[in-house]
């Protein structure tokens, strides 16, 4: 009950601690991210200036002054990419960006660089720029930061179309017959992205300016086609490249503003996270103190009666009830036992449980008494039925013996012997009922019986007695008090051995004198054997016969053997006939104690 009381408090503290740790972690992550948000401005500058240089280099119109923004951007990038604490993915991406931008910066003005090479360099720069933004902003699980990042990437996607426009323009310059498919596609893509940005950033005049500039730049394509034969200077004089550079500066300003908005949002999130961490820390401590106080008060009121209930219930289950049931089973079934109530007098739920335990105690004793009466009734029925049956069988046997004495026809005499044998087997079943009822068999000998005769008498009570081979036995006898029960016990074992063996095989019986002065009888069959687990269970039942249960009907012979052995202190064990080959049969070893064994010489004296 103490655990039940404290458990919700523990769960609340754990959940609060998890939330507090999460908020502290968020504050740390957002603080770290806020420290590197300015990297976004730097990679924006590198990409924008690289776009100008790559585009003019491809068109052959690059001049020295076009490189100045790229040089400045690379210098800024080299300053921030070596700062400690930068996310590994961002640091790796910025290193790759620096290498690609440096390679673009170092290209000779008059060198011929293929469009594919320049495009590969530009793709490296744009790809690493995306990686930097994602690595810096990913730790912040904020909708506002996510929206800002999405707007930033959309602006970036529109800006990158300028490079594609420049590539398409270069293809026209290199090949005047080029239809300008890539150029048209890039212009269309930029127009679509500008329409999306107009929805995402409503009211920004720069978006409208870029749309107007895009429409105004279309006529310059025709002028570029006209100026191509006059050379690069004439193409540059058209001003299409300058217009694209101006658009790039507008995009760069948009990206910079968006990056600043993200930085401001991140600063606000950091402040909120720190405030939430402090607030939740205070609330957690107050909750812990209040919860512990309430738990202590409740535990004081509940644990004492619970301890009394627990101790009383344990004592009842482990000591009192087993002793009372044993007393009922071994004593008078009608005896009335005094029930000691559980010492809990409260009226609430614990008191109700205590009264329920008392009721269970009372019902358990009533049930044990009724079961005891039922077992006695069943035993009486077994006893009455067995004695009536055996009485009739004794009459039948006397009648058969009288007929056998007066019969001279060998054939009819053989049939009478078979009837005599069948009646003897039926009498053994009646004796089994007496054993189940716990009563003594009526037939008791007053004199000792040689063990050879005991074994032969047992063999005469089984169906296939001709398959039983009895070896020479020592000159010992079983006392009269145990002789009849030993015959019964051996008959049941022989019956099991014969049923467990193939029909044409024999069952061997060996008798010998034990070292302790007792007798040992071994019954060996040659059947299929018993698996080790079942053999161990059977030996346990033989050593300690249980109460009558469902299993008794299926293994009644072994149950009777166990009861008879227990009555005279006899030990019966089953083991494989051949330990190396368990499937070659079972040997039943019967050890009769010296108390029930006499020598033949002492009998004659």
Record the tokens describing residue 162, joined without a space: 């300028």
Q: What burial letters (b/e) apply to 495-516, b meaning 16+ CB within 10 Å? A: bbbbebbeeeebbbbbbebeee
Mean pLDDT of 107-129: 75
- Summarize pLDDT for 170-208 with one digit per residue, the tens: 777 777 777 777 778 878 888 888 888 888 888 888 888
Round to whole Å and give the CA distance between 412 and 453.
27
Q: Tell me the DSSP string of 402-430.
A: HHHHH---HHHHHHHHHHHHHHHHHHHHH
Residue 360: strand, helix, or coil: helix
- 């005896």: which residue's tokens? 335
Q: Shortest CA distance to 60 belongs to which of 236, 180, 246?
A: 236
pTM of the model: 0.43
Question: Which residues, 6+ apart, have CB-to-CB distance to 32 below 8 Å?
Answer: 85, 139
What was the pLDDT predicted at 603?
Answer: 47
Question: Which residues, 6+ apart, have CB-to-CB distance to 190 below 8 Å?
Answer: 158, 161, 162, 165, 214
Alpha helix ranges (H) inside 438-479: 451-459
**Are the beta carbons of 476 and 521 closer than 8 angstroms?**
no
Q: Shortest CA distance to 93 belongs to which of 46, 55, 158?
A: 46
Element (H, E) at 240: helix 240-315
What was the pLDDT predicted at 443?
Answer: 58
What was the pLDDT predicted at 318?
Answer: 80
**Are the beta carbons of 115 and 171 closer than 8 angstroms?**
yes
Residue 596: DSSP 8-state: G
**Are the beta carbons of 158 and 251 closer than 8 angstroms?**
yes
- Summarize pLDDT for 476-531 with one digit per residue, the tens: 888 877 888 888 889 888 888 888 888 888 899 999 998 888 899 999 998 888 88
- First-residue to last-residue Cα distance in the chain: 77
Chain mean pLDDT for the chain: 77
- Summarize pLDDT for 442-477 with one digit per residue, the tens: 556 667 889 888 898 888 888 888 888 988 888 888
How would residue 363 be classed by pLDDT, with cut points 50, 70 and 90? confident
Mean pLDDT of 569-576: 90
CB atoms within 10 A of CB 270: 21
Residue 604: strand, helix, or coil: helix
Q: Shortest CA distance to 466 belongs to which of 426, 526, 506?
A: 506
Round to whole Å and give the CA distance between 34 and 559.
84
How would residue 17 be classed by pLDDT, with cut points 50, 70 and 90? low
Q: Shortest CA distance to 480 belongs to which of 605, 604, 603?
A: 603
Asked which of 15-24, 321-330, 503-512, 558-567 is least confident by mean pLDDT, the reply is: 15-24
Strand order in the sheet with 476-478: 449-450, 476-478, 597-599
pLDDT at 379 over 50: yes
pLDDT at 604 over 50: no
33 vs 355, residue with greater confidence? 355
Q: Tell me the DSSP string of 355-407.
A: HHHHHHHHHHHHHHHHHHHHHHHHHHHHHHHHHHHHHHHHHHHHHHHHHHHH-
- Summarize pLDDT for 579-599 with one digit per residue, the tens: 777 677 889 999 999 888 887
Question: Which residues, 6+ apart, have CB-to-CB distance to 207 below 8 Å?
Answer: 194, 197, 198, 201, 254
Residue 586: DSSP 8-state: E
Check the CA dihedral 130-133-137-138 and report its sign. positive
Measured at the CA of 499, the angle between CA 494 and CA 501, to 5 degrees, comes to 95
Round to whole Å and give the CA distance between 211 and 524.
108
**Are the beta carbons of 477 and 451 closer than 8 angstroms?**
yes
- 């006898």: which residue's tokens? 477
Round to whole Å and give the CA distance between 472 and 198.
116
**Are the beta carbons of 295 and 6 closer than 8 angstroms?**
yes
**Are the beta carbons of 600 and 477 closer than 8 angstroms?**
yes
Alpha helix ranges (H) inside 60-204: 68-80, 88-105, 115-137, 143-174, 181-200
């Amino acid at each position: 009950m103490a655990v039940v009381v404290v458990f919700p408090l523990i769960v609340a503290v754990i959940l609060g601690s998890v939330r507090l740790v999460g908020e502290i972690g968020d504050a740390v992550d957002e603080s770290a991210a806020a420290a590197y948000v300015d990297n976004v401005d730097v990679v924006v500058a590198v990409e924008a200036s690289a776009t100008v240089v790559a585009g003019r280099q491809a068109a052959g119109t690059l001049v020295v002054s076009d490189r100045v923004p790229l040089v400045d951007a690379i210098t800024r990038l080299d300053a921030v990419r070596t700062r400690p604490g930068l996310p590994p993915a961002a640091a790796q991406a910025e290193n790759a960006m620096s290498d690609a931008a440096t390679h673009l910066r170092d290209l000779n003005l008059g060198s011929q660089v293929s469009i594919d090479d320049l495009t590969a360099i530009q793709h490296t720069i744009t790809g690493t720029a995306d990686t930097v933004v994602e690595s810096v902003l990913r730790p912040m699980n904020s909708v506002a930061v996510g929206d800002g990042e999405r707007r930033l990437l959309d602006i970036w996607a529109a800006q990158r179309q300028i490079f594609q426009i420049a590539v398409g323009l270069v293809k026209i310059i290199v090949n005047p017959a080029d239809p300008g498919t890539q150029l048209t596609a890039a212009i269309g893509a930029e127009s679509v992205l500008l329409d999306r940005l107009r929805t995402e950033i409503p009211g920004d005049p720069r978006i409208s300016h870029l749309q107007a500039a895009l429409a105004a730049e279309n006529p310059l394509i025709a002028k570029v086609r006209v100026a191509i034969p006059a050379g690069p200077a004439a193409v540059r004089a058209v001003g299409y490249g300058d217009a694209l550079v101006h658009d790039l500066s507008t995009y760069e300003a948009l990206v910079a503003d968006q990056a600043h908005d993200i930085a401001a949002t991140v600063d606000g999130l950091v402040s909120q996270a720190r405030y939430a961490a402090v607030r939740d820390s205070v609330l957690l401590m107050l909750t812990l103190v209040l919860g512990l106080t309430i738990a202590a008060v409740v535990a004081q009121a509940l644990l004492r009666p619970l301890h009394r209930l627990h101790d009383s219930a344990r004592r009842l289950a482990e000591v009192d009830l087993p002793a009372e049931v044993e007393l009922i089973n071994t004593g008078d079934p009608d005896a009335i036992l005094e029930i000691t109530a559980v010492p809990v007098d409260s009226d609430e739920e614990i008191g109700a449980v205590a009264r329920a335990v008392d009721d269970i105690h009372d019902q358990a004793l009533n049930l044990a008494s009724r079961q005891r009466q039922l077992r006695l009734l069943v035993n009486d029925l077994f006893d009455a039925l067995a004695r009536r049956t055996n009485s009739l069988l004794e009459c039948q046997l006397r009648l058969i013996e009288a007929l056998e004495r007066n019969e001279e026809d060998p054939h009819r005499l053989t049939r009478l012997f078979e009837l005599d044998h069948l009646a003897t087997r039926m009498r053994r079943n009646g004796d089994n009922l007496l054993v189940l009822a716990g009563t003594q068999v009526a037939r008791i000998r007053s004199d000792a019986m040689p063990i050879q005769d005991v074994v032969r008498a047992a063999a005469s009570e089984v169906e296939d007695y001709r398959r039983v081979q009895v070896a020479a036995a020592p000159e010992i006898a079983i006392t009269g008090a145990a002789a009849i029960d030993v015959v019964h016990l051996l008959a049941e074992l022989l019956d099991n051995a014969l049923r467990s063996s193939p029909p044409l095989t024999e069952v061997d019986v060996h008798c010998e004198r034990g070292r302790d002065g007792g007798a040992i009888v071994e019954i060996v069959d040659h059947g299929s054997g018993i698996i080790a687990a079942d053999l161990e269970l059977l030996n346990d039942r033989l050593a300690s016969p249980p109460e009558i249960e469902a299993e008794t009907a299926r293994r009644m012979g072994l149950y009777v053997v166990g009861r008879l052995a227990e009555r005279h202190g006899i030990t019966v064990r089953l083991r494989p006939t051949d330990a190396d080959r368990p499937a070659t049969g079972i040997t039943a070893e019967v050890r009769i104690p010296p108390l029930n064994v006499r020598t033949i010489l002492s009998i004659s004296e």
